[in-house]
Structure 1
Amino acid sequence: MRTTSSRNGNARTGPAGPGRPVTVCGLPVHPLTLEESVAAAEALIEDGGPHQHVVLNAAKIVQAHDDPELARIIRSCSLVSADGQSVVWAGRLLGSPLPERVAGIDFMLALWRSAARNGYRVYLLGAEARVVEETARIAAGQGVEIVGYRNGYWDESEEALVVAAVRETRPDILFLAVPSPRKEYFLARRQKDLGCALMVGVGGSFDVVAGLRSRAPRWMQRAGLEWFHRLVQEPRRMFLRYAVGNTRFVALTAAFRARLLIGRRGDA
């Protein structure tokens, strides 16, 4: 078991774990606030791992219903967060209420604060070289112990070298900024080799931290309109994802809602 202590060397009482997930569209989601999610992550780090965290949004739920292996990976993860507001709304419709959206970037930044406070060692993997370098600089400036970083471009022949480079630094937390489902597959395949307690896929979060992309205003985030902000920023890349993916997600949620109502009538 990995032993983690605070920077002053004092032992800490371990926080509570993630608890039992609820089910949204056939996939598990932990009904936790951002603060509770960080506490759960700290418990997983104290446990020593390896543990994988994953976020769910409408696109990933649709992907998982097309890809049984991705669905299996999501079900195997130790901590699953509702990254999209649409997942929170679907949870309410399906009788699996979630307290709030836990956006992947918010979770990452909150974990940085936890790492600075608790002395966790952090490795950053992903994005372009200049982006991950700038992200590492910013994180270190916030008191995070960055033990290593590397860009997210490698082929199959280089994978073992990438894994070895991460393992050599003995990080407590690995943040992986590559697209889905590549990050989920990589972490599931290599989690025992990476030598970290907690592995967190963060998608394009490094780009936001480094200033290449901006987040939606707070009012758009609260209203569940961050997707529209991303569509305006990246129309070519995001149009099909939202036009097709969101439509399929609505249909999928409606199908699960219909099953729920039929089941209730059958029990009456």
Structure 2
Amino acid sequence: MKEIKFLGAPMLSASMADTVNHIESKIAAGEFLQHVVVNVAKLVNMRKDRELAESVNACDVINIDGMGVVWGARLCGHHVPERVAGVDLFHNLLAMSARRGFPIYLLGAKHEVVAKTTDVVKEMYPGLDVAGYHHGYFWDDEAAVVQAIRESGAKLLFVAITSPKKENFINKWKDQLGVDFVMGVGGTFDVVAGKVKRAPVWMQNAGLEWLYRVIQEPGRMWKRYLVTNSRFAWLLVKERFRGARTEAS
């Protein structure tokens, strides 16, 4: 687990197995971990959103989710063993929690989606203790939701809310959640509940998950990815050029 800095942001050069083992050991020791994944869109948005950047930088574990970031970091000379996708890490941590008897809490999405997700993960991981769940539309009374999480006895909290809301919520309330581990998982509940299909594996490996999302939701996604991907490409060119100049000197 080595920390690197890419495009001005800290992140870990780590494998999935290393990440899961690290998280498991910290939870077992009762040590709090705030987790986040970074992808192309988040790296771009962090440069203009100071609160998001502060929330990400405050995390203890920052994994690379997105082949664009993996390839970009490698192009700039960093060793990155693999992508640690948030949805895959979520499933790995549920399997670990079921094995270790760690209770979890699911927060986010619509009520019917998080309820369905709860049913699905209980079936997928026999023995998994879901201490509680709540939908993601609670902004008029955040303190009550935080209290419910704290009183549930959960050790792991998964927050399926869009960025930057989830990062800022976690960073704001982390000291009052009463859990040992908290992770933002974005649209993962929609995938687990079967509301949204995940891209085929070949598209994931080719770094084309963003394109699959655009195909599924063109009206909402095309502009977002056009802007962020274009900005990321320009930032990558500048970073590579800066590295080349440093090597030359």
Kindly indicate whether residue 157 of structure 2 is the aligned counterpart of residue 164 of structure 1. no
8 Å CA contact 1:47–1:197 kept in 2: the answer is no
Would you say the 8 A contact 1:88–1:97 is kept in 2? no
Q: Is the 8 A contact 2:2 2:14 kept in 1?
A: no
CA distance in 2, matches of 1:245, 1:84: 13
Residue of 133, 148, 169 corresponding to 2:115: 133
Q: CA deviation at 1:174?
A: 0.1
Q: Tell me the CA shift for residue 72 of structure 1.
A: 2.3
CA–CA distance in 2 between the matches of 1:170 and 1:258? Answer: 50
Structure 2: distance between partners of 1:241 and 1:97? 29
One-letter code aligned to 1:49:
E
* Alignment counterpart, residue 205 of structure 2, candidates 205, 212, 222: 222
Give the whole-Å Cα distance in 2 for the aligned partners of 1:104 and 1:237: 21
Alpha-carbon distance in 2 for matches of 1:132, 1:21: 33
**Structure 1 residues not aligned, in runs of 5+:** 1-18
Query: Offset at 1:138?
Result: 1.2
2:218 counterpart (232, 235, 239): 235
Superposed structure 1 runs of 4+ greater than 2 Å apart: 46-50
Q: Is the 8 A contact 1:50 1:195 kept in 2?
A: no
Aligned mate of 2:194, from 200, 207, 211: 211
Partner SS for 1:123? strand
For residues 74 and 264 of structure 1, the distance between their equivalents in structure 2, rounded to whole angstroms, comes to: 30
Please state if 1:189 is matched with 2:172: yes
Distance in 2 of aligned mates of 1:262 and 1:171: 50
Q: CA deviation at 1:154?
A: 1.2
Please report how far the alpha carbon of residue 186 of structure 1 lies from its aligned counterpart in structure 2 after TM superposition.
0.4
Work out whether 1:147 is the aligned partner of 2:131: yes
Match of 1:6 in 2: none
1:166-207 CA distances to partner (integer Å, 9 max, x unpaired)? 000121100000000000000001000000000010000000
SS in structure 1 opposite 2:2?
Answer: coil
Q: Aligned match of 2:69 in 79, 84, 87? A: 87
Superposition map of 1:54-65 within 5 A? 54-65=36-47
Q: CA deviation at 1:160?
A: 0.4
Aligned partner of residue 72 in structure 2, secondary structure: helix
Q: Deviations over 1:4-50 (max 9, x none)?
A: xxxxxxxxxxxxxxx43111111111111111111121123124233
Contact 2:7 2:235 in 1 (8 A): yes
2:2 alignment partner in structure 1 = 20
Q: Are the equivalent residues in 2 in contact too, given 1:73–1:188 (CA < 8 A)?
A: yes
CA distance in 1, matches of 2:202, 2:77: 26
Shift of residue 95, structure 1, vs aligned partner: 1.4
Report the aligned-residue RMSD. Answer: 1.1
Partner AA of 2:26 in structure 1? L
Q: 1:51 and 1:166 mapped to 2: Cα distance?
A: 16
Task: Report the secondary structure of 1:21's partner residue.
Answer: strand
Aligned partners of 1:135 and 1:164: how far apart in 2?
22
Rounded Cα–Cα distance in structure 2 between residues aligned with 1:49 and 1:254:
39
C-alpha separation in 1, matches of 2:41 and 2:147: 32
The SS at the match of 1:30 is strand
Which residue does 2:248 correspond to in 1?
Answer: 265
Aligned partners of 1:29, 1:58: CA distance in 2, in Å? 13
Q: Please, what TM-score do these two structures have when normalized by structure 1?
A: 0.89
Alignment check: 8 A CA contact 2:23 2:33 kept: no
> In structure 2, the residue corresponding to 1:66 is in which secondary structure?
coil
Q: In 1, distance between residues paired with 2:50 and 2:241? A: 22
Deviation at 1:97, TM superposition (A): 2.0
Output the CA distance in 2 between the equivalents of 1:75 and 1:159. Answer: 23
Give 3-state SS (helix, strand or coil) of 1:140's partner.
Answer: helix
Residue aligning to 1:15: none
Question: Alpha-carbon deviations, 1:74-127, whole Å to 9, x = none?
Answer: 222111111100000011111112111111100101111001111111000000
5+ residue gaps, structure 2:
none
